[in-house]
Homo-oligomer: A and B are copies of this chain.
């Protein structure tokens, strides 16, 4: 029997976080961190509300997961994030030594793949999981924002 806990299952949780960001007027990006099929951290972008460029979903999730685990290394953890991490977040993931990062939509301009940010040798990176859903939410955000201005 197929486990219900596949990449799509957890990416949906990350998308729920992205929707929570959307509802607050934040660029809709969400992330969860999973260990042993359990979500140990969830976060969404809060850069506007906190007036802080470092408050990306991934950064907050890394801090929360380390807090949950009582240690700063995220070995045996997977991050699901709706958008390809930027240099800052990929740099933080490098230090965390996380085992796996799964992202949804690509960011051809500011993403870590596009900008060739170095990940830890222990980290596997995969993209394209529920990319359309993540991408549609971002597009909807920017269209609504344009129409308001």
Binding site for B on A (CB under 8 A): 47-48, 51-54, 59, 62-63, 66-67, 70-73, 86-92, 94-96, 115-118
Contact = CB atoms under 8 A, between A and B. Distances in A.
Given A47-B72, A72-B47, A87 B54 contact: no
A94 B95 CA distance: 18
Contacts of A86: 91, 95
A48 B73 CA distance: 11
The list of the 5 closest CB pairs from A to B, nearest first, reads A88-B91, A87-B91, A53-B95, A88-B92, A51-B72
Contacts of A54: 54, 59, 62-63, 92, 95
A92 B58 CA distance: 13
A54 B51 CA distance: 17
Given A115-B118, A117-B117, A118-B115, A70 B87 contact: no
A117 B89 CA distance: 12
A62 B51 CA distance: 11
B51 A67 contact: yes
A45 B51 CA distance: 22
Given A52-B63, A54-B62, A117 B87 contact: yes
A48 B66 CA distance: 11
Nearest to A73: B53
B117 A91 contact: yes
